Amino acid sequence: MDSTQNFQVFNRGPSPAARLVFFAVLSVLLMFIDVRFRYLESARSVLSVLISPIQYLASRPNFFLEQAGDFFVTQNSLLKENKALQRQHGQDAIQLLQQQALVQENLQLRNLTGLQQRNQLSGQFAEILYVEQDIFRRKVIINKGSAAQIHSGQVVIDDKGIVGQITRVYPLISEVTLITEKDHAVPVQVLRNGLRSVAFGAGDTSGLSLRYMPVSTDIQNGDVLVTSGIDGIYPAGIPVAKVQKVERDAAYPFARIDCLPVAGVDNFRHFLVLSVMPVIPDRPEAEPALSKFKTKKVGGH
């Protein structure tokens, strides 16, 4: 018996065409019954409950893919937005610092103008170009020179007090020697009691000292020193320094008095160069003693 005969023996039942017609008629009949009499509503509800887990599981891969895509898109956009915000924050911080610096400069200029008006001082504003970094000399270069009618010897102040003195002039710039320069002397007096002395620079920007003051001198910590005006260079009444420490030792004839300058070059950039220097008459020459004697003798005869 060959394979064709075996297939014919076991292949019993309706033909495929008959099966197709049967199931097509059955489908049409069920649809008619469902539409007409709604007998399959309960069956449909039961089937929907049974197949809902399968539908849920079948939809999960697509859902996870969409969520992963949204996550990466959102993450990328957040990173870009974060970088943009960081750049904007840096720019805003720089602008804020610049604005604060401008506010401080405007405040200092207003204080300088007020000091100039209160003390009836005439001068012109100048700005620091750079500060020499030599440890043995502290000098400041400003942006005004002989072209701006700057002369050697003029006094330089800021809104707090005396800064220094013009010591060298060039056409467009000038050199300012600070009052804290070593052995630079400024005649001062104590604002509290009018005691006069001389403040000497200590060689750095943070120190002045009063030399040759007896241990019994009436001077205290916190006393304010102002210019006395007796030297003909510094106008009287401008703050110079504040007494920081007073040491008295009976073994020494003089007290050690350290002072802290009230002005400086480490805070702001603008100064006021005083244009009017005090005019002091020349000291009269003393007549020789012999001429006086001769005059008296001739008058006697």
Residue 299 domain flag: no
- Average the pLDDT over each of 75-79, 118-122, 203-207 and give the range with the smallest value: 118-122
| CA–CA distance, 222 with 245 (Å, rounded to integer) | 8
Neighbouring CB atoms inside 10 A of 59's CB total: 10
| CA–CA distance, 170 with 175 (Å, rounded to integer) | 8
More confident residue, 279 or 26: 26
Looking at the structure, tell me whether residues 148 and 264 fall in a common domain: yes
| CA–CA distance, 149 with 279 (Å, rounded to integer) | 18
Q: Torsion over CA of 295, 297, 298 and 301, rounded to 10 degrees?
A: 160
Confidence class of residue 115 from pLDDT cuts 50, 70 and 90? low
**Of the candidates 64, 89, 114, which is a domain's last residue?**
89
Can you name the residues that pair with 196 across neighbouring β-strands? 189
Neighbouring CB atoms inside 10 A of 277's CB total: 14
Looking at the structure, tell me whether residues 172 and 223 fall in a common domain: yes
pLDDT tops 70 at residue 220: yes
More confident residue, 67 or 186: 186
Instruction: Return the half-sphere exposure (C-beta side, CA atoms, 13 A cut-off) of residue 280.
Output: 11
Over residues 129-144, mean pLDDT: 78
More confident residue, 93 or 135: 93
Looking at the structure, tell me whether residues 151 and 205 fall in a common domain: yes
Closest by CA position to 39, among listed 48, 29, 25: 29
CA angle at residue 59 from 58 to 61, to 5 degrees?
A: 90
Looking at the structure, tell me whether residues 168 and 267 fall in a common domain: yes
Over residues 30-45, mean pLDDT: 71
Residue 279 domain flag: no
Q: What's the confidence (pLDDT) of residue 21? A: 84
Closest by CA position to 154, among listed 264, 265, 234: 234
Looking at the structure, tell me whether residues 163 and 270 fall in a common domain: yes
274, 160 Cβ separation under 8 angstroms: no
SS3 label, residue 52: helix
Over residues 75-90, mean pLDDT: 80
Q: What's the confidence (pLDDT) of residue 6? A: 52
Q: What's the confidence (pLDDT) of residue 99? A: 67
Residue 200 domain flag: yes
pLDDT tops 70 at residue 9: no
Output the CA–CA distances (angstroms, integers) from residue 65 to 12, 26, 52, 61, 214, in the order listed: 49, 40, 20, 6, 92
Q: What's the confidence (pLDDT) of residue 297? A: 47
8-state DSSP, 51: H
Q: Which residues of 100-114 are buried (b: 16+ CB within 10 A; e: fewer)?
A: eeeeeeeebeeebee
Over residues 277-293, mean pLDDT: 58
Average pLDDT of every residue of the chain: 77
| CA–CA distance, 209 with 170 (Å, rounded to integer) | 31
Looking at the structure, tell me whether residues 64 and 129 fall in a common domain: no
More confident residue, 44 or 273: 273
pLDDT tops 70 at residue 30: yes
| Structure-block tokens of residue 295 | 């005059």
Pairing state of beta strands 196-201 and 208-214? antiparallel
Residue 115 domain flag: no
| CA–CA distance, 228 with 198 (Å, rounded to integer) | 9
Looking at the structure, tell me whether residues 138 and 219 fall in a common domain: yes
Pairing state of beta strands 196-201 and 123-131? unpaired
pLDDT tops 60 at residue 26: yes
pLDDT tops 80 at residue 116: no
Looking at the structure, tell me whether residues 41 and 140 fall in a common domain: no
pLDDT digits (tens, 9 = 90+) for 170-216: 999 999 988 888 878 899 999 988 899 999 988 766 789 998 899 88
SS3 label, residue 116: helix
Q: What's the confidence (pLDDT) of residue 14? A: 75
Q: What's the confidence (pLDDT) of residue 284? A: 67
Q: What's the confidence (pLDDT) of residue 243? A: 93
Give the total number of structural domains in the chain: 2
Q: What's the confidence (pLDDT) of residue 125? A: 85
Q: What's the confidence (pLDDT) of residue 252? A: 86
| CA–CA distance, 158 with 108 (Å, rounded to integer) | 8
Looking at the structure, tell me whether residues 158 and 206 fall in a common domain: yes
